[in-house]
Structure 1
């Protein structure tokens, strides 16, 4: 007599485990996306703060990329080039540039909210699968205990 149900149950448990791992991977990706979006917001806050602090004629350090900067004199704050997203940029006056950055921050807030909701849905799904896996493990253990008890009972009956 074999301990029945083990093969199929183990296979189902393994499948659930793989689904849980896949969901955890998706959750990690969404968390990274949220971190990236928050960093983008911080960058915009820094730009807004900088625009509020500099004046025409100010000397500033302009990033060139790769950690390199150059000192430059601000010629005219009426010519602020602001990324609009999608590889588009516009030359705007200071107040309009701040407004554009604030608008983009609001759009990023919406993205963060959407991604956070997706993450919460995945976490809920993961919890359901974990509960299902735990229930399956308990059922398999109970079946094994019952089968072992039956085998012990049959052995006792045979000794009499």
Structure 2
């Protein structure tokens, strides 16, 4: 096997590794975007809750498109997940501020992950050009 063939094999192995890393980063981006959408929906729901009278009936989502009819007993306080199975009672404004903070942190993570993905794509493009050059050289 010639030096060029060994280099081509090495580049192909690197491309496969970068492809796997790119897929992982893309999945991370998708998860971050889903979390951002959930935060937006939660914040919008909190805005609507401000306009609902107590003892009014609402549809409460249970997940997977399943809802139950429920009555609002106390619209001034909501239960807010702090993470790690810990939750606290907060007022709507405080909850929305916490959601905004989470959103900003996620947007930062999204930007950082997007930059990492772009760097990998640039490197892959470079390696592809090099591989094509070597392949042409091998073919003669």
Instruction: Decide which of 73, 78, 98 is 2:71's aligned counterpart.
Output: 73
What is the alpha-carbon distance in structure 2 between the residues aligned to residue 134 and residue 34 of structure 1? 30
Residue 67 of structure 1, CA deviation? 4.1
Q: Structure 2: 5+ residue runs without aligned partners?
A: none
Residue 28 of structure 1, CA deviation? 1.8
Give the TM-score of the pair, scaled to structure 1: 0.76
Cα 1:78–1:101, aligned 2, differ >3 Å: closer, same or farther? Answer: same
Instruction: Decide which of 127, 130, 134 is 2:128's aligned counterpart.
Output: 130
Residue 113 of structure 1, CA deviation? 0.5
Residue 25 of structure 1, CA deviation? 2.0
Instruction: Decide which of 46, 52, 63 is 1:51's aligned counterpart.
Output: 46
Q: Structure 1: 5+ residue runs without aligned partners?
A: 1-5, 145-160
What is the alpha-carbon distance in structure 2 between the residues aligned to residue 109 and residue 70 of structure 1? 32
Give the TM-score of the pair, scaled to structure 2: 0.85
- Count of residue correspondences: 137
What is the alpha-carbon distance in structure 1 between the residues aligned to residue 56 and residue 44 of structure 2? 15
Cα 1:58–1:44, aligned 2, differ >3 Å: closer, same or farther? Answer: farther
Instruction: Decide which of 30, 36, 51 is 1:35's aligned counterpart.
Output: 30
Q: Does structure 2 retain, via aligned residues, the 8 Å contact 1:84–1:100?
A: no
Which entry has the higher C-alpha Rg, 1 or 2?
1
What is the alpha-carbon distance in structure 1 between the residues aligned to residue 4 and residue 85 of structure 2? 52
Determine helix, strand or coil for the equivalent of 2:75: coil
Structure with bigger RCO (C-alpha 8 Å, 6+ apart): 2
Asked if residue 17 in structure 1 is aligned to residue 12 in structure 2, the reply is yes
